[in-house]
Chains A and B, each alone.
Chain A
Amino acid sequence: MVANTLVRIGALAVDGLSLGLLYAMLGLGITLVFGLGGILNLALGVFTVIAILLVVELTASVPVVLAAVFAIALTGGLGIVLERSVLQLVYRSEGDERLLLGIFTTLGLSIALQGALSLRYTGEFAVPVEIPSVEVFGAFIRGSSLVIIVLSLVILLAMYLFFSRTYTGLATRTIMQDETGAVYCGIDTSRMRTFVFVLSIVIAASAGILYGLSFETNVAGAFNLTITAVIVSIVGGVTSILGVVVAGVGLGILTTFLSAYLGSYISTIALFGAAIVTLVLKPEGIQ
């Protein structure tokens, strides 16, 4: 009896960890762009869905791993196009006005892109691969959860090394801390913004494809992914890269357990509740 409960808790913890690492990656996508350019990218979820759709389309002709690589590259390319065209217009304004303009522009982009996607894709979709479950101590653990944990840890570790060891990574953090100071140090902020925006899109696209291994989604689900990402980023302190990872893992485990024991509505409300509490108690992070 006790053993059964422990096994169930263990299996849930693994699922929760895998979901949490995905949350962390999505949240990182919001945090990077907000920290660097002051834009709350409400179109992030659409990019994750686009990446999943590209994988679905490409697996018809190439192996799934190759399809994933192409999908991430193509989504990143779309990110460059949008950053260079639409977001450059947003960067013309400053301060609070830029924040507002960023929200509305990316919200509009999200709605428009979702509309365009739903012209063709109406049903539910997922990454078409079967990963067998693994049995550990009598618990069946979803293979996809293990794949997600391993790959997202690799990606997050790579990000950590990038931001702590490379010149570009350090330059990015300099801009996040002090934009004017960074300019004095000879850092080209405009180019760095484009780079970081595309990086955030690539992270979100990878998170999307990994998400598609475990879950089905649809075009309308894109905005929910965005909102989740925003919540994780807020709880993590909005501009802290380490904070967002901790918040993501914590919230992923919390929501997995809540939805297993109390139902999915409660877990969703808890997720929003976490964001609301953080915003009211510690709004300094985001202003």
Chain B
Amino acid sequence: MKRDRYHLLLVAGVLAAIPPAFFAPGESYLARVFILMVLYAILTTALNLVFGHTDQLLLFTGAVAAIGAYTTALTAQWLGISPWFSLLAGGLLAGVVGVTVTYVAAIRELTVIVISILTLALQFSIIELVNSLRDVTGGVTGLAFDGLTIPPLVNLPWFTEDIVLFYTLGVVLLGMLAVYQYLMNSRYGLAFEMIRQDETAAKSVGLDTVKYKVIAGFVATFAIGLVGPFFAQLSGFVSPGTYQFNNIDVLILIMLIVGGLRTMYGPLVGSAIIILLNEQLRAFAEFRSILFGTLLVVLFLYFRDGVVPFVDDYLDKWDVKRRAQDLMPGSRAPER
């Protein structure tokens, strides 16, 4: 338990240090890159929880994020409140969609492949639905969106909108990681592991597999829905193009595999690497598709363990971890 807190503190420290080190007024490009990294890290952590740990491959992250974004924007517009309040409504509706899908999938005993195709079909139909409801959603062009700022703070000379965005998302990411760590170290983590390894065996010892799968589905889709509006805040528009399969799902799948499935740091490392690559290739959109497509193939065929487990093994081999632990005050016999 204690070690988890160290990990979270480490991430918090790194996140806190990024804006002072890299953000500068009038230099919004670099800030944007870091904001995107955190944004994608949250989405990838959500996928890690639901796919990595409970074997439910949800391929509609983009659509869930869109549900969150449109709910947030439209609720704020209709009720005349700040999007900061309607964010919660967006997250909740996304969570309800997630619960519905994972519940139906669980009671119908859909296999991972069926879930993936089902959610892929949902992804495309939800985006198409957004396109078609032109009167409500603004169709393909979308709606102007710019409410996730804190006006009194932004007027301060050194405080930019980017810093607000970054720290807000940073807090969400930390919250998500804390939930992730909590789940992994409680009976939930054990239940997830059991379901993943042998669902029939899990059921036969009386485990309520439906409940655990739905919980994982809710946590993941709630988080995805919650951060969906921030994509809109970055571009100033809620538009269906942002949430397309190629822009969200494909990227986070690659991030998850690059970083490492079923690790806390994997999604963080993966999103940092892929966002950097993505930015380097911004001027060459076609080459970007070629590279990411090839990465998807090569990673799944040859490097399914990801960077974090790879480094972990390496550290284990040289016994670095144990030595580092010994250096810590008050720790004598390390676990494991």
Give the interface of A toward B (CB within 8 A): 40, 86, 89-90, 96, 99-101, 103-105, 107-116, 118-119, 223, 227, 230-231, 234, 263, 265-266, 268-269, 272-273, 275-276, 279-280, 283, 286-287
User: Complex: how many Å from CA A252 to CA B167?
Assistant: 50
A-B contact pairs, 24 of them (CB 8 A): A86-B297, A89-B301, A100-B57, A104-B253, A108-B293, A108-B296, A111-B246, A111-B289, A111-B292, A112-B291, A112-B293, A115-B288, A115-B291, A119-B287, A266-B132, A268-B124, A272-B125, A275-B117, A275-B118, A276-B121, A276-B125, A280-B118, A283-B111, A287-B111
Instruction: Name the interface residues of B291-336: CB closer than 8 Å to any CB of A.
Output: 291-298, 300-301
A96 to B125 alpha-carbon distance, docked (Å): 26
Indicate whether A40 sits within 8 Å of B301 (C-beta atoms), given known contacts A108-B294, A116-B286. no
Tell me the bound Cα distance from A265 to B135 in angstroms: 14
Q: Which residues of A contact B131 (CB under 8 A)?
A: 265
Chain A, residue nearest B104 (CB)? A280
In the bound complex, do residue A99 and residue B294 qualify as a contact, i.e. CB atoms below 8 Å apart? Answer: no
Instruction: Decide: A109 and B297 in contact? CB cutoff 8 A.
Output: yes
CA gap between A284 and B230 in the complex, in Å: 39
**Least CB separation from B250: chain A residue:** A111
Cβ contact within 8 Å between B289 and A115 = yes
Q: Is B110's beta carbon under 8 Å from chain A?
A: yes
Contacts of A99 in B (CB 8 A): 112-113
Chain B interface helix/strand/loop/mixed: helix
Is B97 at the interface (CB under 8 A from chain A)? no
Is A104 a contact partner of B108 (Cβ separation < 8 A)? no
Given contacts A107-B250, A265-B131, A272-B128, contact A234 B297 (CB under 8 A): no
Is there a chain A Cβ closer than 8 Å to B18's Cβ? no
Q: Is B15 an interface residue (CB 8 A)?
A: no
Tell me if B129 is interfacial: C-beta within 8 Å of chain A. yes
How many Å lie between the Cα of A234 and that of B117 in the bound state?
9
**Chain A residues closer than 8 Å to B57, beta-carbon distance:** 100
Given A116-B290, A227-B120, A280-B118, A263 contacting B113 (CB threshold 8 A) = no
Report Cα–Cα, A90/B304, bound state, in Å.
13
Bound Cα distance A275, B118 (Å): 8
Q: For the complex, count residues of B whose C-beta is within 8 A of A.
A: 40
A263 to B131, CA, bound (A): 12
Determine the residue in chain B with the shortest Cβ distance to A42.
B120
> In the assembly, what is the distance between CA of A107 and CA of B57, in Å?
14
Interface residues of B in 207-244 (CB under 8 A from A): none
Contacts of B104 in A (CB 8 A): 280
Cα of A283 to Cα of B301 in the assembled complex, Å: 27
The interface centre, meaning the residue of B111, B121, B301 with most chain A CB atoms within 10 A of its CB, is B121
Pairwise interchain contact B289-A112, C-beta atoms closer than 8 A = yes
- Asked if B122 lies at the interface with its beta carbon under 8 angstroms from chain A, I say yes
Q: Given that A105-B300, A227-B124 are contacting pairs, would A279 and B117 also be in contact in the complex, using a CB cutoff of 8 Å?
A: yes
Question: Are B125's CB and A273's CB within 8 A?
Answer: yes
CB pair B286–A108 under 8 Å, yes or no, is no
- CB-contact partner of B129 in A104, A107, A269, A280, under 8 A: A269
Smallest CB separation, B106 vs chain A (Å): 12
Q: At the interface, yes or no: B16 with Cβ under 8 Å from chain A?
A: no
8 further contact pairs, Cβ within 8 A, besides A118-B286, A223-B246, A269-B128: A86-B301, A96-B113, A105-B296, A112-B294, A119-B286, A227-B120, A265-B128, A272-B121
Q: Which of chain A's residues have a CB closer than 8 A to the CB of B168?
A: none
* Cα of A107 to Cα of B300 in the assembled complex, Å: 11
Kindly report which residue of chain A lies nearest to residue B132, judged by CB atoms.
A265
Do residues B250 and A115 form an inter-chain contact, with CB atoms below 8 A?
no
Give the chain B neighbours of A108 by CB distance below 8 A: 292-298, 300
B75 within 8 A of A: no
- B295, B297, B300: which has the most chain A beta carbons within 10 Å? B297
Contact of A286 among B113, B246, B297 (CB under 8 A): B113
- With a cutoff of 8 Å between Cβ atoms, the chain A residues found around residue B300 in the complex are 101, 104-105, 108
With both chains docked as a complex, state the minimum distance between the C-beta of A114 and any C-beta of chain B, in angstroms. Answer: 6
CB contacts (< 8 Å) of A110 on chain B: these are 293
Among A101, A110, A265, residue most surrounded by chain B Cβ atoms (within 10 Å): A265
Of residues 90 to 128 in B, which have CB atoms within 8 Å of A's CB atoms?
104, 108-114, 116-118, 120-122, 124-125, 128
Closest beta carbon of chain B to A265's beta carbon, Å: 3
Chain A residue numbers with a CB within 8 Å of B293 are 107-115
Report whether A279 and B114 are in contact in the complex, using a CB–CB cutoff of 8 Å.
yes
Q: Chain B contacts of A105 at CB under 8 A?
A: 296-297, 300-301
Residues on B with beta carbons closer than 8 Å to the beta carbon of A113: 293
Shortest C-beta distance, A86 to chain B (Å), equals: 7
- Closest chain A residue, CB of each to CB of B289: A115
Distance A37 CA – B229 CA, assembled complex (angstroms): 41
Which residues in B have their C-beta under 8 angstroms from that of A89?
Answer: 301
Inter-chain CA distance A279–B114, complex, in Å, is: 7
B110 engages A279 (CB within 8 Å): yes
- Asked if A268 contacts B125 (CB within 8 A), the reply is yes
**A104–B118 alpha-carbon span in the complex (Å):** 15
| A276 in complex: contacting residue of B112, B122, B285, B286, CB < 8 Å | B122
Q: In the complex, A112→B104 CA distance in Å?
A: 34
Q: How far is the CA of A234 from the CA of B298 in the complex (A)?
A: 28
Contact residues in A for B250 (Cβ distance below 8 Å): 107, 111
What distance in Å separates the Cβ of A283 from its nearest Cβ neighbour in chain B? 5
Within the complex, the shortest CB–CB distance from A268 to chain B, in Å, comes to 5
Bound-state CA distance A100–B291 (Å) is 21
A224 to B, closest residue via Cβ: B124
Contact A118 B289 (CB under 8 A): yes
**Taking the nearest CB of chain B, how far is it from the CB of A253, in angstroms?**
20
| Bound-complex Cα distance A89 to B108 (A) | 32
Given known A-B contacts A89-B301, A101-B300, A272-B125, A230 and B289 have beta carbons under 8 A apart: no
